[in-house]
Structure 1
Amino acid sequence: MKLIIAEKPSVSKNIADALKIKGRQDGYFEGNGYIVTWAFGHLLQLYDAKDYDDKMSTWKMENFPFIPQVFKYKVKSNPRDREKPDTGAKKQLKIIQSLMRRPDVDGIISACDYDREGQVIGDSIIYNLKTDKTVYRLLLNEWTPAEVMNGLENIKLNTELRPLQDAGVSRQWADWVIGINLTSVATLKYQKGKGKALNIGRVLLPTLKIIYDRDKEIEKFVPENYYKLQATFKTKDEQEYEGTYIEGKEEKFKSKETLEEIQQKLIDKPGIVSDKQVQKKKEYPPFLFNLSNLQGYITNKYKGWTSDKVLKVAQSLYEKKFITYPRTASVALEESLVGKTAKVLETLTEDLPYKDEVKFVKSKRIFDNSKVESHSAIVPTYLKPKKLSTDEEQVYQAIKNRFIMQFMPVAEYEETRIETKITGADLKGLFISKGKVQLVEGWKKVEKVQSKDTILPLVQVNDDVDLVKHEITTHVTKPPKQHTERTLLRVMETCGKNYDGEGTDEESLNAILSGFSIGTPATRAETIKKLKDVGYITTQNKNLLCTDLGRKLIETFPIKDLFNLEFTGRLEKSLNDIEKRSFTKDEFLQLIFDFTTKAVETIKNEKEITINEVASQRKPNEIIGKCPVCGHAVIEGQKGFGCSNWKNGCKFVIWKNDKFLATMKKKPTKTMVKALLKNGIAPVKGLTSKKGNKFDANLRYEKNADNEYFSWKMEFDK
């Protein structure tokens, strides 16, 4: 009997289904020679500092640096009360321990995700519970039944994954040491008043610096005018085309006078076509998605998405067996997946209107071991989803479409470049006209990508043309754009190497695959979310901006290495090198401990400056919306949501114990009131009828015609 430990209940169910196990017990499945149990992600967490030593219960400058001799684990804390262990985690650990000790269990298989984090989750449970039984590792990229069965036939000894475990605990312990020490010392030194700590992290600060630097670039940017000279020419058969004046390679001129002098020379002068070049060009589809590119694509295309949400939705699709492992840095597939990929493609394209154009090819652009690090790119599995939520549908379709594009014809277009010289004018430059015509739509059909055609008239070299008109146009240089999650992820992924592209050039691919980055595909979204949560950055539409607190931290905090992309990139690369056995856990941790000790001493010796002053004043009431009677702000009080203008006689209020809603076992919520004030109508779910049945309805809160009070109106969707 083998005991399989999965990372989550949903994954253990996938494994049990593949093994055709029907028997479910409390905390595990059993049957057909296997027991399948699960964790809830991390069941264990590292000790807090005060667990090692009581003196660490209160933060005192003299207690730091604090680096444990041995790192220990405990049951993860209850999220509502960090002083107590999580009861669910405690219970599940006991179940796993009793299963591991069963005499009929002769081997344990860790089936946690095949990455650093998954390795640590499985190993921390198995080795902290202690066992003398052989431990194996199930390494899978997807949870389809066929893949689970294939994986179980090819399990490895867990000892072979020791470098992955070393990299995982190195990352975990390093972040604990830097976080605990520098967060504590920075808060003691630079914060006045009690409140949230000043968060200091190995990945957090360089990410903040990227946004800060872009904000500064925009602030310092001085717009400049530049000018262009545009001309319109007419051919013998009365067709017109436009051209832009160019000298050398320059078409933007700082001096308007220069172009005005050229304009004078154009008066009453004809033109001649001095050169014409026509080239057929190919457009290849964008590469398969890795996690960062998927997050960038979705957050850029749809409103309301964050990279954190994209990861959660992709994880859900992975656990439901519809896509392969999402936390990957690769944009290609392993060459061993050729046969499987062909079958997936056949299954996914059988109903497409353009299926005749889909052709499986074994291309180096798609299948290339040298461009795969640990996990292949994200692609769909052979299982077709029958029903998905709107969010899941958007992410799944993006992955599916990107996959199908690889096997569609390459798009082709014709590019025409015409050079027109002015006859009889002493000019250094000439006019350039460019045209583009799409010849083959190819992969663009998949997402109906529109190509803009610019059609030029049919002319030949030495054709005479008339100069119909010319004008000088004024333009202004534009500042760099604020970072969005898409552009920020790109910088994090490559530590700034050519982040404006799609990540397909060799230099940035090599940076990604060597691990020279800020964070990992799995942690970047979490980092961006944390920067927002701790108040270092804020969002404006899709743009990310530094807050005053974030700016002060960067300009004051003395440990400049933590803001440095190169420094952080080297640390991340060292973790990657531990996985590849070219660097050791001990060397890495010594580096971190020395850095932390030195950093703490530096902060202690710095002059007293306040980065953050936490005010202890009462929070102002949140404005819920605009009063429909007098236009003043509606705010939440103890007993209801009412107009702030009540002292002057406005009677608008929605009571929290509203009798009409109470008959349907509902109370008004902030969300409901916001919707009513903004849209005049609020969709409400889970109302209870007199018979006790649940139903949904749209509610309006409308002023009575004969008095100044309001009444509820109920509507139903057709």
Structure 2
Amino acid sequence: MKKLIIAEKPSVAKNIADATASSRKNGYFEGEYYVITWAFGHLLQLYDARDYDPEMRSWKIEKFPYIPEKFLYKIKSDGKNKEKPDSGVVQQMNTIKNLMERKDVEGIISATDDDREGQIIADEIINYISPQKPVERILLNEWTAEEVNRGLNNLKSNEEMKSLQDAGFGRQIADWLIGINLTSVATLKYRNKQNIRLLNVGRVLMPTLKIIYDRDKEIADFKVTKYYKLKGIFQTEEKKDFDSIYYVKGNEKFDNPEELKEIQEKIHGRNGEVVSKKITKKNEYPPYLFNLSGLQGYVTSKYKGWTSDKVLKTAQQLYEKKFITYPRTASVVLDESLKEKTAKVLNIHKKNCPYEEMIQFKSTKRIFDSKKVESHSAIIPTYMQPGKLTESERIVYEAVKNRFLAQFMPIAVAEDTVLHIKMQETDIPGEFVAKGKVQLEPGWKLIEGIDAKETILPPVQKGNILPLIKSEINEVERKPPKPHTEKTLLKVMETCGKKYEEKEEEQMMMAILSGFSIGTPATRAETIKKLKDAGYIKAKGKSLTCTDLGKMLVETFPARELFDLEYTGRLEKTLSDIEKKKFTKDDFLSMIKQFVIESVDKIKNDTVFGGPVILEPLHTEPVGICPECGAPVVETARAFGCSAWKKGCKFAIWKDDRFVTSLGKKVSYEMVKILLEHGKVGFRGCVSKRGNKFSAYFYYEKDEKTKRYNWKLEFIDTNPPS
């Protein structure tokens, strides 16, 4: 007899097959003891409202809120035609059903990812087919052959995963209830207001938008102010100028320059005495191992063109190729049970490191601490060493590997020096302070390529007399906060807006693991992408800011709880508590249903939304005819797209098209109208990367191989630009 293993993806099924000596069949692998098949993520989806009630096919505001008595599942819809099931999914579901019903298959093993979402990917399939055979669960953090075989020898009953399953289905149903009802009602209520065609409303989407809005508002409301610093330049016995010393009286920043002018007059021509010299050796520990948010923040801030979504997808590829452990984790330390395994992995990877002799295994609470691990430990490399990697894979893999090796390098040691200089023969209350830093031992910084920022002070001692050569008052303008980047946004989402100082890093870790957050490590990147796609935020370089539509939502949308970080954090915490059996799915959904009923009522009776913010009006008449299907092309907040998109036509010209904007031009209604009518549009004054101006015709042509549209230029000038 055999057992059927259901993996989350074909690549993971292949890893399991490699470990169990199974050969490839049509839609599955088979060996002596196991049959292995796969999903493609979610093969099933919740019913649409119209599947429950045909009358829901036409959106009418009086039909909402719509809350089914029982939630049902269907095979995932086709991407191009929502009315039909995906043919590939139908085929794979039939394969899985046939394998489940085979007489020589005595049981089923769920081998999807060990998290809330992974749990229900297999459970959906099993519940849908209902094979009446025992179901077991394999829980792994990596897919190497050694771990697969260990997991197959330590299976759990799937019944033990009931609380994780409840949290997964609870999250899925809650997001359906909020998304379907609030998106539908808001769109129906406001679609004729300022040419809004669709308002995407979501449980995690709205508070994330609020985080960006709040930072934008801080910047907009910031009033430029100035402060002043008194700088002293002293001379040492070696006749060297001793610079960058500032007068301090509790603080070195002064709002009133007149106070500093008085002091400046009093100290003119005087000597300063070094009244104290304090030297402190400081241990500098490496940053913690990466969790997903940390890895996303590190890569997006260091490399141009990266988004958190790209980091997640790349990390997932490395995980499925068995090169790193499970990436969708909130933990920054390892479970204590992994010490022996970690030592073996370390010995493999340090052999390729130029600092091999400095790398020594050690067991500390900064690396191993079971109390600070949620379902998955931090991300580390596996014992598998990659051969050829893509450039994207190399960047993410090197980040993970170097952060891992850094934990076992010597601690970096710096020497901090603080000098206090008191002016002689004066009655000024403050003193001049100089701070220096010298890196004595670079330690782990060698691995991460961090250059130490040193400030070398002259060799002066307590009691030395230093003549004041010059003093000057520096005027400094206070700077506004910086716009959020994906790195800073992920951190705020992870901690639900709470700020923690460096010394409070332990409290921060425990807060993250409590589940009180905006979204999960697995969903935050997708949330940021959805905000961009909905036209609520825009990116300029690494900076994220609200659009007018995003501002309007935050300022006037009636369901105010959705923008409350505390409220959303509590919802996410409740889902975490369901996993821990501290709360029930039914109670959670009752709470969500009541929220939906109240929110729909608020939207229906709203008279305020859209008031204070004026959006640039969209053109209501079609801009032209779609070259793909012949349907009208219409303007939306973010693009000029085919009106037959529900039928699968994907033709669109995006307003923020990078190619066009990089040449200093704008995708406008008039431009697209000419393009669709004549097949080309001419621009003068285009600017190349080197700053040269030129004129050209722009063509938007379909590549028959990739089926994608790309811009092509025909230069009007005789000499094309460089």
Q: Which residue matches 1:98?
A: 98
Counterpart of 1:201 in 2: which secondary structure? coil
State the alpha-carbon separation in 2 of the partners of residues 482 and 127 from structure 1.
46
- Aligned in 2, Cα 1:652/1:293: closer, same or farther, shift over 3 Å? closer
What's the CA shift string for 1:355-392, capped at 9, x where partnerless?
Answer: 00000001111000011000000110000000000000
Counterpart of 1:83 in 2: which secondary structure? coil
Report the alpha carbon displacement of residue 626 of structure 1 after superposing the two structures with TM. Answer: 10
State the alpha-carbon separation in 2 of the partners of residues 526 and 667 from structure 1.
25
Instruction: Calculate the aligned-residue CA RMSD, in Å.
Output: 2.9
Q: Which residue matches 1:602?
A: 602
State the alpha-carbon separation in 2 of the partners of residues 123 and 268 from structure 1.
82
Aligned residues: 672
- Aligned in 2, Cα 1:242/1:608: closer, same or farther, shift over 3 Å? closer
State the alpha-carbon separation in 2 of the partners of residues 555 and 654 from structure 1.
39
What's the CA shift string for 1:379-407, capped at 9, x where partnerless?
Answer: 10000000000000000000000000000
Task: Kindly indicate whether the alpha-carbon contact (under 8 Å) linking 2:27 and 2:37 is maintained by their aligned counterparts in 1.
Answer: yes
What's the CA shift string for 1:9-67, capped at 9, x where partnerless?
Answer: 11100100111112x11110111211000001000000000000011111111111111
- Aligned in 2, Cα 1:702/1:341: closer, same or farther, shift over 3 Å? farther
Report the alpha carbon displacement of residue 637 of structure 1 after superposing the two structures with TM. Answer: 5.1
State the alpha-carbon separation in 1 of the partners of residues 452 and 683 from structure 2.
53
Correspondence 1:168 to 2:168: yes
Counterpart of 2:323 in 1: which secondary structure? coil
Counterpart of 1:81 in 2: which secondary structure? coil
State the alpha-carbon separation in 1 of the partners of residues 445 and 28 from structure 2.
47
What's the CA shift string for 1:408-460, capped at 9, x where partnerless?
Answer: 00000111110011100110100000111100010000122101211111111
Q: Which residue matches 1:616?
A: 620
Correspondence 1:206 to 2:245: no
Specify every segment of 5 or more residues in structure 2 that has no aligned partner in the other structure, as ranges.
624-634, 641-652, 686-693
After superposition, where does 1:108-257 map in structure 2 within 5 Å? 108-192=108-192, 196-257=197-258
What's the CA shift string for 1:86-115, capped at 9, x where partnerless?
Answer: 000011001100100001000100100001
- Aligned in 2, Cα 1:179/1:162: closer, same or farther, shift over 3 Å? same
What's the CA shift string for 1:573-596, capped at 9, x where partnerless?
Answer: 000000000101111011101111
What's the CA shift string for 1:582-619, capped at 9, x where partnerless?
Answer: 10111101110111111111222222645787642425
Counterpart of 1:418 in 2: which secondary structure? strand
- Aligned in 2, Cα 1:401/1:504: closer, same or farther, shift over 3 Å? farther
Task: Kindly indicate whether the alpha-carbon contact (under 8 Å) linking 1:6 and 1:38 is maintained by their aligned counterparts in 2.
Answer: yes
What's the CA shift string for 1:295-353, capped at 9, x where partnerless?
Answer: 01111000001101110000000000000000000000000000000111111110222
Counterpart of 1:416 in 2: which secondary structure? strand
State the alpha-carbon separation in 2 of the partners of residues 510 and 221 from structure 1.
33
Which letter does structure 1 place at the counterpart of 2:526? E
- Aligned in 2, Cα 1:593/1:11: closer, same or farther, shift over 3 Å? same
Task: Kindly indicate whether the alpha-carbon contact (under 8 Å) linking 1:189 and 1:609 is maintained by their aligned counterparts in 2.
Answer: no
- Aligned in 2, Cα 1:52/1:143: closer, same or farther, shift over 3 Å? same
Instruction: Give the TM-score normalised by structure 2.
Output: 0.88
- Aligned in 2, Cα 1:177/1:625: closer, same or farther, shift over 3 Å? closer
State the alpha-carbon separation in 2 of the partners of residues 75 and 429 from structure 1.
75
Which letter does structure 2 place at the counterpart of 1:592? I
Instruction: Give the TM-score normalised by structure 1.
Output: 0.89
Counterpart of 1:442 in 2: which secondary structure? coil
Counterpart of 2:84 in 1: which secondary structure? strand
Task: Kindly indicate whether the alpha-carbon contact (under 8 Å) linking 1:226 and 1:254 is maintained by their aligned counterparts in 2.
Answer: yes
Task: Kindly indicate whether the alpha-carbon contact (under 8 Å) linking 1:2 and 1:34 is maintained by their aligned counterparts in 2.
Answer: yes
What's the CA shift string for 1:67-86, capped at 9, x where partnerless?
Answer: 11000000001011111100
State the alpha-carbon separation in 1 of the partners of residues 21 and 239 from structure 2.
76
Counterpart of 2:6 in 1: which secondary structure? strand
Which letter does structure 1 place at the counterpart of 2:682? C
Report the alpha carbon displacement of residue 670 of structure 1 after superposing the two structures with TM. Answer: 5.9
Correspondence 1:334 to 2:338: no
Report the alpha carbon displacement of residue 170 of structure 1 after superposing the two structures with TM. Answer: 0.3
Q: Which residue matches 1:74?
A: 74
- Aligned in 2, Cα 1:372/1:609: closer, same or farther, shift over 3 Å? closer
Which letter does structure 1 place at the counterpart of 2:712? V
Counterpart of 1:324 in 2: which secondary structure? coil
Among all aligned residue pairs of Structure 1 and Structure 2, give the percentage whose two residues are the same amino acid: 55
Report the alpha carbon displacement of residue 157 of structure 1 after superposing the two structures with TM. Answer: 0.4
Report the alpha carbon displacement of residue 507 of structure 1 after superposing the two structures with TM. Answer: 2.5
Task: Kindly indicate whether the alpha-carbon contact (under 8 Å) linking 2:675 and 2:699 is maintained by their aligned counterparts in 1.
Answer: no
State the alpha-carbon separation in 1 of the partners of residues 505 and 224 from structure 2.
31
State the alpha-carbon separation in 1 of the partners of residues 535 and 353 from structure 2.
47
With 226-235 and 597-606 compared, the bigger mean Cα shift is at 597-606
Task: Kindly indicate whether the alpha-carbon contact (under 8 Å) linking 1:322 and 1:382 is maintained by their aligned counterparts in 2.
Answer: yes
Counterpart of 1:643 in 2: which secondary structure? strand
Correspondence 1:526 to 2:526: yes
Task: Kindly indicate whether the alpha-carbon contact (under 8 Å) linking 2:248 and 2:433 is maintained by their aligned counterparts in 1.
Answer: no
Report the alpha carbon displacement of residue 654 of structure 1 after superposing the two structures with TM. Answer: 7.7
Q: Which residue matches 1:437?
A: 438
Report the alpha carbon displacement of residue 239 of structure 1 after superposing the two structures with TM. Answer: 3.0
Correspondence 1:453 to 2:457: no
Which letter does structure 2 place at the counterpart of 1:259? L
- Aligned in 2, Cα 1:480/1:652: closer, same or farther, shift over 3 Å? closer
Which letter does structure 1 place at the counterpart of 2:521? P
Q: Which residue matches 1:680?
A: none
Q: Which residue matches 1:311?
A: 312
Task: Kindly indicate whether the alpha-carbon contact (under 8 Å) linking 2:231 and 2:247 is maintained by their aligned counterparts in 1.
Answer: no
Task: Kindly indicate whether the alpha-carbon contact (under 8 Å) linking 2:269 and 2:469 is maintained by their aligned counterparts in 1.
Answer: no
State the alpha-carbon separation in 2 of the partners of residues 179 and 133 from structure 1.
35
Task: Kindly indicate whether the alpha-carbon contact (under 8 Å) linking 1:272 and 1:465 is maintained by their aligned counterparts in 2.
Answer: yes
Q: Which residue matches 2:58?
A: 58
Task: Kindly indicate whether the alpha-carbon contact (under 8 Å) linking 1:276 and 1:417 is maintained by their aligned counterparts in 2.
Answer: yes
State the alpha-carbon separation in 2 of the partners of residues 474 and 288 from structure 1.
41
- Aligned in 2, Cα 1:155/1:186: closer, same or farther, shift over 3 Å? same
With 594-603 and 570-579 compared, the bigger mean Cα shift is at 594-603
State the alpha-carbon separation in 2 of the partners of residues 614 and 138 from structure 1.
53
- Aligned in 2, Cα 1:655/1:212: closer, same or farther, shift over 3 Å? closer
State the alpha-carbon separation in 1 of the partners of residues 535 and 52 from structure 2.
30
Q: Which residue matches 2:688?
A: none
State the alpha-carbon separation in 2 of the partners of residues 510 and 503 from structure 1.
14
Task: Kindly indicate whether the alpha-carbon contact (under 8 Å) linking 2:116 and 2:164 is maintained by their aligned counterparts in 1.
Answer: yes
State the alpha-carbon separation in 1 of the partners of residues 417 and 76 from structure 2.
65
Report the alpha carbon displacement of residue 671 of structure 1 after superposing the two structures with TM. Answer: 4.1
- Aligned in 2, Cα 1:141/1:638: closer, same or farther, shift over 3 Å? farther
Report the alpha carbon displacement of residue 506 of structure 1 after superposing the two structures with TM. Answer: 2.4
State the alpha-carbon separation in 2 of the partners of residues 615 and 173 from structure 1.
37
